[in-house]
Amino acid sequence: MNDLIQVGEKISMLRALADGLVKLARKHRNIVVLYADFGTKLGLKNFCLAFPERCFNFGLSEENVAAAAVGFAARGKIPFVIGFSNFAGKAWEQIRNSVCYPNLNIKFVATNAGISSGEDGVGYQLTEDIAIMRTLPNMKVISPVDYYEAMSGLEQAFYSFGPVYMRLVSKEIPVILNEAYEFGFGKAKVLKEGIDVCVFTHGALTSNVLEAAMVLEDEGKSVMVVDSASIKPIDADKIIECSMKAKKCLVVEDNNLSGGLFSAIAEVLAECNPVSLRGIGLKDRFAESGSMEDLYKKYGLDVIGLTNKIREFIG
Amino acid sequence: MIIEELQKKAAQIRVDSLTAISRAGSGHSGSSMSCVEILVSLYYGKISEKYVAKLDPKKPQWEEQDYIILSKGQAVPTQYAILADLGFFNKDEMDFLRKVNSPLQGYPNVKVPGITVPVTSHGCGLSIATGLAMALKMDRLPNKVFPILGDGELQEGQVWEAAMCAAHYKLDNLIAFIDNNDLQIDGPVRSVMDVMPIQDKFEAFGWRVIHVWHGHDFDEILDALAKAFTTNRHPVCIWCHTVEGKGIEFAEGKPYYHDVPLSEVELAEVKKKLDPIVADNLKMFGNE
């Protein structure tokens, strides 16, 4: 099935979650899936049909499910706690105290990340999730750019000991990488070389950034695009290397810049290579209801908006 | 262990934990005293010649152990004192409670042998216990889980999320104690935010509730546990009426002593009363 998915095809990361979990659970008996309702919307149907005894619905109780995962981990299980991204905010205290502090092997998967969740509005668009998760000691944070990175990231999250926060986009977005791609914690990947500006990005916006880079390429401007899906640990070496190759750096993300990838990259560059750096994303504000496309357009994150902003920044 | 021995053991645990709290210069003296008999019953008590909880100090990660989870984590010096006494770790460690570089943190810490799950803030203990009980049921194992909750803790919404979940999954391997000492930092629980009626609430959530009128009476506690062990398809709540600061005559039922250490003079007074009982205590054996 998977090899039928071609570059450019639009597909939801939830399919990677559904396929990946079943694949992992076939090999590893200690995987359990815990979720707080929305199972059918999270693509858990396949897993629950294949492994009903390892699938636990906690109803709408996000705090309870995050802490109950601790009990499962105490018996050597590896829980995947899955929910809409807003559960990360609701259960943050439990994740901090009961999971990250004792460094337990629990994986949190949040779907509908950033403003991509769209129509449900601000309550379900946790645009600060990277900020609140990145700050937790022991926690690793991944925001894959497409189906294949989500698939590989899920596998790496399982094999890497300790808590992981993985944010997925449930809307259908274009595939950028291919089946051979392997995600690595602390590894950034240059998707396109360039020298005028280096754009770091993650999640659903990556395909828009690549398209904008191609438009600018036609205008004679050379834009480097870096997939920074591993937000924590961050690939400091690659960031410094890229910032030296390009004259200026830019971070594009569909969440609040404060505390997000923008902050993570600013922390690295401020210490090692202070270059001209700017962020494109939500600047200290909330979004609103609307389709993903309309929201991206309104906040200048669609291809046209990004092209204009990058062009202006290059000068 | 016969009741008289359990009473002596409780006196010893009181002295050990109060000494550690005083030496630390901070901690919850009153709150640690109200659950002494509950914890001593669980760790040392026997029902029909069998220990209540299956534990082995030599194997803190033992697969077959039962789990005692102090959800009212502020009372952890009592649990540390018991674990040290059972030989999970060296008793000298108690001198470093709440101090830099010591594993004996202010709330239950998994780095301490015998502490199996982290309890770092109020309200999370029952959820963790529920998850543990579900994992055990999933593997069809007979291990039991005993969380101990404070009454003030019942004000946390998360407790009721967990209560609903435990009944939904019919976790009869989960036996939760409520240490109803009726005090929290700001005063009597009933005046801060009343949690009553505890029995009606848990029963409405689908639990079996066993009432212990005298939460410092070993006979009553062990009797309640024996009844709990015969319950099927429902989680059990053992609701114990206790006295804050029990065993410290001048502090019993006084809100001031809830979260402060005893001064040297106060500790000396407690020791004067309890030391003769402790000296008379038989050398304890490790559980199992």
Helix, strand, coil: what percent of chain B each, to 5?
A: 45, 10, 40
Instruction: Please report, for chain A, the start and end positions of each structural domain, with discontinuous segments joined by +.
Output: 7-174, 189-314
Residue B143 lies in a domain: yes
Q: Distance (Å) from the C-alpha of residue A191 to the closest C-alpha of chain B?
A: 42
Structural domain span for residue B128: 3-279
CATH architecture of A7-174: 3-Layer(aba) Sandwich (3.40)
Residue B286 lies in a domain: no
Residues in chain B, overall count: 288
Residues in chain A, overall count: 315
Q: Do domains A7-174 and A189-314 have the same CATH topology?
A: yes
pLDDT number for residue B285: 45
A189-314, what's its fold? Rossmann fold (3.40.50)
Residue B124 lies in a domain: yes
| pLDDT tens digits, one per residue of B238-285 | 999 999 999 998 999 988 988 899 999 999 999 988 888 877 664 554
Complex ipTM tops 0.95: no
- Mutate: best of B156, B165, B168, B170, partner A, most A CBs <10 A: B165
Contact B173, B143 (CB under 8 A): yes
pLDDT number for residue B286: 44
Contact A210, A234 (CB under 8 A): no
Q: Work out the number of other CB atoms within 10 angstroms of the CB of residue B139.
A: 13
Roughly what angle, to the nearest 10 degrees, separates helices B3-24 and B218-229? 100
Q: Distance (Å) from the C-alpha of residue A258 to the closest C-alpha of chain B?
A: 28
CA geometry: angle at B222 spanning B216 and B226, to 5°? 150
Residue B287 lies in a domain: no
pLDDT number for residue A21: 94
* Distance in angstroms (rounded) separating the CA atoms of residues A251 and A239: 11
* Distance in angstroms (rounded) separating the CA atoms of residues A206 and A267: 22
Tokens of A300: 């200048």
Q: Distance (Å) from the C-alpha of residue A83 to the closest C-alpha of chain B?
A: 17
- pTM reported for the whole predicted model: 0.94
* Distance in angstroms (rounded) separating the CA atoms of residues B128 and A130: 25
Contact B116, B67 (CB under 8 A): yes
Residue B144 lies in a domain: yes
Q: What are the C-alpha distances in Å from B171 to residues A12, A103, B144, B164?
A: 37, 27, 10, 11
Q: Which of A94, A232, A103, A111 is nearest to A163 (CA)?
A: A103
| pLDDT tens digits, one per residue of A175-194 | 999 999 999 999 999 999 99
- Residue for token pair 């209801």: A289
Helix, strand, coil: what percent of chain A each, to 5?
A: 45, 20, 35
Contact B151, B95 (CB under 8 A): no
* Distance in angstroms (rounded) separating the CA atoms of residues A44 and B204: 31
pLDDT number for residue A39: 80
The count of structural domains within chain B is 1
- Which residues in chain A come in under a pLDDT of 50? 1-2
B134 touches chain A (CB under 8 A): yes
A90 touches chain B (CB under 8 A): no
Residue B80 lies in a domain: yes
| pLDDT tens digits, one per residue of A95-142 | 999 999 999 999 999 988 888 877 888 888 889 999 999 999 999 999
Residue B272 lies in a domain: yes
B162 touches chain A (CB under 8 A): yes
Query: Residue A15: phi, psi to the nearest 5?
Result: -70, -35
Q: Work out the number of other CB atoms within 10 angstroms of the CB of residue B90.
A: 8
* Residue B123 belongs to domain with CATH number: 3.40.50.970
**What is the residue-level pLDDT of chain B in tens, covering all 288 positions?**
688 899 999 999 999 999 999 999 999 999 999 999 999 999 999 999 899 999 999 999 999 999 999 999 999 999 999 999 999 999 999 999 999 999 999 899 999 999 999 998 889 999 999 999 999 999 999 999 999 999 999 999 999 999 999 999 999 999 999 999 999 888 899 999 999 999 999 999 999 999 999 999 999 999 999 999 999 999 999 999 999 999 998 999 988 988 899 999 999 999 988 888 877 664 554 444
